[in-house]
Amino acid sequence: MRPHTARALQKARRHGTEALRAAATKETQRVARDEDTEDDSQSASLNLPEVPLAAMNLPPLRGSHESLVRQNERAEADGLLRVKDEEDLATLRHEGKLVALPELASMHVDSRLPANRRYCRAWTGHFLTDLARVHYERFHKPLQINSAVRTIQYQRHLLHINGNAAPAEGDVASPHLTGEAVDIAKKGLTPSEVAWMRAYLLPLQTAGKIDVEEEFQQSCFHISVYKSYVTSRPQETPSRKPALLASGVN
Using the minimum distance from each CB to Zn ion, give the nearer residue, 99 or 181.
181
Footprint of Zn ion on 175-204 (CB under 5 A): 183
Q: CB–CB of 172/215 below 8 Å? A: no
Using the minimum distance from each CB to Zn ion, give the nearer residue, 180 or 183.
183
- Please enumerate in sequence order all residues whose Cβ is within 8 A of that of 74, keeping only pairs 6 or more positions apart, or say none: 180, 211, 224, 226
Instruction: Tell me which stretch binds Zn ion (CB under 5 A): 40-48, 98-106, 115-123, 219-227.
Output: 219-227
Instruction: Tell me which stretch binds Zn ion (CB under 5 A): 4-12, 69-77, 83-91, 218-226.
Output: 218-226
Minimum distance from residue 70 beta carbon to Zn ion (Å):
15
Instruction: Tell me which stretch binds Zn ion (CB under 5 A): 37-45, 62-70, 72-80, 220-228.
Output: 220-228
- Please enumerate in sequence order all residues whose Cβ is within 8 A of that of 49, keeping only pairs 6 or more positions apart, or say none: 56, 199, 203
- Number of residues engaging Zn ion in binding (CB under 5 A): 2
Report the sign of the C-alpha dihedral through residues 242, 120, 245, 185, in that order: positive
Q: At residue 146, what are phi and psi to the nearest 5 degrees?
A: -95, -30
Minimum distance from residue 14 beta carbon to Zn ion (Å):
56
Using the minimum distance from each CB to Zn ion, give the nearer residue, 48 or 101.
101
Minimum distance from residue 100 beta carbon to Zn ion (Å):
19
DSSP 133-201: HHHHHHHSS-EEEEE----HHHHHHHHHH-TTSPPSSSTT--GGGGT-EEEEE-TT--HHHHHHHHHHH
Minimum distance from residue 147 beta carbon to Zn ion (Å):
6
Minimum distance from residue 144 beta carbon to Zn ion (Å):
14
Using the minimum distance from each CB to Zn ion, give the nearer residue, 48 or 154.
154
Please tell me what DSSP assigns to residue 216: T
Regarding 214 and contact with Zn ion (CB under 5 A), the answer is: no
Minimum distance from residue 67 beta carbon to Zn ion (Å):
12
Q: CB–CB of 149/120 below 8 Å? A: yes
Regarding 130 and contact with Zn ion (CB under 5 A), the answer is: no
Q: CB–CB of 224/175 below 8 Å? A: yes
Regarding 222 and contact with Zn ion (CB under 5 A), the answer is: yes
Minimum distance from residue 77 beta carbon to Zn ion (Å):
19
CB atoms within 10 A of CB 111: 6
Using the minimum distance from each CB to Zn ion, give the nearer residue, 121 or 222.
222
Using the minimum distance from each CB to Zn ion, give the nearer residue, 45 or 175.
175
Q: CB–CB of 128/182 below 8 Å? A: yes
Q: Which residues are at the interface with Zn ion (CB under 5 A)? A: 183, 222
